[in-house]
Each structure stands twice: as structure tokens, then as C-alpha cells.
């Protein structure tokens, strides 16, 4: 089936025109969760084959507003996957050492090796988002980074990496509900940061920054996918569909071993 969430190179979008409500696209949660479970079994088998083949690499990039569901997506997608062939990297505030280098230095160190699936929880895109909205660097610094990022991702693709990028698109109302859930449930207090409320005040600025990111960095080799994420079950299904479809298109093959018929194990 065509990927309804993939942006097209050369076709600008307005983020406000794209729904955050997955129910508009799938109204049967039970059916969606059954499909998701089936696809997760397929992913487990595909990941084993990718690891065994040991030739190609797979990178998944997740960006979202606070409480957008990056952690939950990773937890649900990777459940049951062989941890030897998977790594998750979360990009937080850069360290002093990282700030001493160019903005891609810490990113390049984390890209997947052969046979690996890597998930980026936030990514190199923070350097055209946070730094822009918070005026950490001037526009003459952050704007050229779009093209630098596009060339970086082209280099990854040319060197055997499949790059999938997902923006988890939630509404301001849904974010409010998720923040309130974190405040009302003691075992979720650890997920709440007072700074999140300051970021919420910058909602419109972030929406514009995300929109520019999506338009400037949707390329033929690494397009963005905008996922309606108000419903977690739909978010999970849409992302899993895309990942499994991309891995199937890779036509991953187990390595051919030498003839072992003459080997006897005593």
C-alpha cells in the first residue's frame, strides 16, 4: 500500500494542514493492534536476517514535541527484537566536548554499523530546532545546516544505510493531556520536567521550525514521514508498517555458508 505519511520531495507542506488524529485514517483500534503484533513478528525475523547478513545498516530518526511519544514508539517497536543487533541513542543537551566540535560530530559517532538497526531519539535536527527557537545561534549559522544535513544523509545512504525519518505529530491539546497524566500519576513524575512548560509556551515557534525542517530536509534519498500521533496505537502501527515495508524492499539474504555436510559433532 502507498505510504500516506511520506512527504514528497519538492512538494512543500503546511504542518497545520496535516491531521494529528489517527482515527481519521483507521477507526478500529483492535484490528490495528492485531496488525501491529503481526508486523512486529515480521520485524523480529527481518532484523535477525539483517544482523546475519552483516552488510547493510538501518537508521530510524524520531523527532517530536515534548510528550510526542518518542520513548513509547521505541519501546513498542523494539519489543522482542534481538538486542545484539539494535541500539538506541538519545541526544540531549550537548556536552562541552561535543560543543567543541561541529554539530554533526556526536551524530556521526552514533550512526549504525553493518547489520545494525539504530534508533535516534532526537537527532542532528535539534541543531535547526532548539538552537533556532531559543536563539542560541543566529540564523546565518543554523540555516545553512539544512543543506549540510541533506548531504550528510546522502552520504549515509550512499554507504549502505537506509534512513527513515518520522515526525510524531501531536496536537497541543493532546500534549496538555499527557503532561497532566504525568503530574497525576506518581510513577510518571520522573518523566515530567518543569522546562517542558516553557517549551510549551513556544509551541507556535516550534511548529514553524518543524515545518521548515520537514520542507527543507525531505529529499529523494531520505524523505520525512509525518505520523498522526494523538493515538498511540495508530502511531505505532503507521511507523511499524513503514519500517517493515522498507526492510522487505531491502531483500535481505542470509549469508551462504560453506558445505557443512561432512562435519561431525562428537
**Domains held by the chain: number:** 1
Q: How many CA within 13 A on the CB side of residue 43?
A: 27
Helix%, strand%, coil% for the chain, nearest 5: 50, 10, 35
Residue 258 lies in a domain: no
Residue 254 lies in a domain: no
Residues of the domain holding 113: 23-249
Over residues 94-115, mean pLDDT: 97
Residue 1 lies in a domain: no
Question: Sign of torsion, CA 20 24 28 31?
Answer: negative
Q: What is the pLDDT of residue 136?
A: 96
Residue 203 lies in a domain: yes
pLDDT tens digit sequence for 132-181: 999 999 999 999 999 999 999 999 999 999 999 999 999 999 999 999 98
pLDDT band at 263 (very low <50, low <70, confident <90, very high): confident
Residue 144 lies in a domain: yes
pLDDT tens digit sequence for 201-247: 999 999 999 999 999 999 999 999 999 999 999 999 999 999 999 99
Q: pTM, whole model, 2 decimals?
A: 0.95
3-state secondary structure of 91: coil
Residue 3 lies in a domain: no
Residue 14 lies in a domain: no
- pLDDT over 80 at 264, yes or no: no
Q: What is the pLDDT of residue 261?
A: 66
Q: What is the pLDDT of residue 1?
A: 44
Angle CA(259)–CA(263)–CA(266) in degrees, nearest 5? 160
| Other CB atoms within 10 A of residue 142 CB | 19
CATH code assigned at 214: 3.40.50.300
Over residues 73-86, mean pLDDT: 96
pLDDT tens digit sequence for 114-145: 999 999 999 999 999 999 999 999 999 999 99
Largest Cα–Cα separation, the chain: 70
φ, ψ (nearest 5 deg) of residue 39: -65, -35
- pLDDT over 80 at 111, yes or no: yes
Residue 133 lies in a domain: yes
| Cα-trace Rg, the chain | 20
Amino acid at each position: 500500500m502507498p505510504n500516506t505519511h511520506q512527504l514528497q520531495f519538492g512538494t512543500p507542506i503546511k504542518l497545520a494542514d496535516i491531521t494529528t488524529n489517527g482515527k481519521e485514517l483507521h477507526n478500529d483500534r483492535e484490528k490495528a493492534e492485531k496488525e501491529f503484533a503481526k508486523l512486529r513478528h515480521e520485524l523480529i525475523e527481518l532484523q535477525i536476517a539483517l544482523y546475519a547478513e552483516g552488510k547493510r545498516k538501518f537508521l530510524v530518526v524520531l523527532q517530536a514535541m515534548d510528550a510526542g511519544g518518542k520513548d513509547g514508539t521505541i519501546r513498542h517497536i523494539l519489543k522482542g527484537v534481538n538486542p545484539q543487533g539494535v541500539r538506541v541513542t538519545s541526544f540531549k543537551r550537548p556536552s562541552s566536548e561535543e560543543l567543541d566540535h561541529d554539530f554533526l560530530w556526536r551524530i556521526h559517532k552514533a550512526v549504525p554499523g553493518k547489520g545494525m538497526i539504530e534508533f535516534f531519539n532526537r537527532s542532528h535536527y535539534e541543531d535547526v530546532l532548539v538552537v533556532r527557537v531559543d536563539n542560541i545561534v543566529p540564523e546565518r549559522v543554523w540555516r545553512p545546516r539544512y543543506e549540510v544535513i541533506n548531504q550528510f544523509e546522502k552520504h549515509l545512504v550512499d554507504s549502505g544505510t537506509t534512513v527513515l525519518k518520522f515526525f510524531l505529530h501531536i496536537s497541543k491539546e493532546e500534549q496538555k493531556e499527557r503532561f497532566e497524566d504525568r503530574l497525576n500519576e506518581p510513577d510518571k513524575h520522573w518523566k515530567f520536567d518543569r522546562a517542558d512548560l516553557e517549551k510549551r509556551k513556544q509551541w507556535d515557534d516550534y511548529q514553524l521550525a518543524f515545518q521548515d525542517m520537514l520542507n527543507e530536509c525531505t529529499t529523494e534519498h531520505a524523505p520525512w514521514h509525518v505520523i498522526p500521533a494523538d493515538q498511540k496505537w495508530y502511531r505505532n502501527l503507521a511507523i511499524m508498517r513503514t519500517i517493515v515495508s522498507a526492510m522487505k524492499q531491502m531483500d535481505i539474504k542470509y549469508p551462504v555458508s560453506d558445505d557443512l555436510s561432512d562435519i561431525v559433532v562428537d
